[in-house]
A and B are shown apart, each in its own frame.
Chain A
Amino acid sequence: QQQVKQSPQSLIVQKGGISIINCAYENTAFDYFPWYQQFPGKGPALLIAIRPDVSEKKEGRFTISFNKSAKQFSLHIMDSQPGDSATYFCAASERGGSEKLVFGKGMKLTVNP
Chain B
Amino acid sequence: SAVISQKPSRDICQRGTSLTIQCQVDSQVTMMFWYRQQPGQSLTLIATANQGSEATYESGFVIDKFPISRPNLTFSTLTVSNMSPEDSSIYLCSVVGEPAYEQYFGPGTRLTVT
Contacts and interface: CB of A to CB of B under 8 A. Distances in A.
Interface of A: 32, 34, 36, 41-46, 49, 89, 93, 95-98, 100-106
Question: How many of chain B's residues touch chain A, expressed as a range?
Answer: 20 to 34
B108 A42 contact: yes
Contacts of A42: 107-108
Interface of B, helix, strand, loop or mixed by DSSP: strand
Contact of A105 (B1, B42, B103, B105): B42
Nearest to A101: B103
A101 B92 contact: no
Contact of B42 (A89, A95, A97, A100): A89
Contacts of B42: 89, 103-106
A27 to B, nearest CB: 14
Given A43-B106, A106-B41, 11 more contacts: A34-B103, A42-B108, A46-B105, A93-B103, A95-B101, A97-B96, A98-B96, A100-B33, A101-B43, A103-B43, A104-B42
A34 B43 CA distance: 14
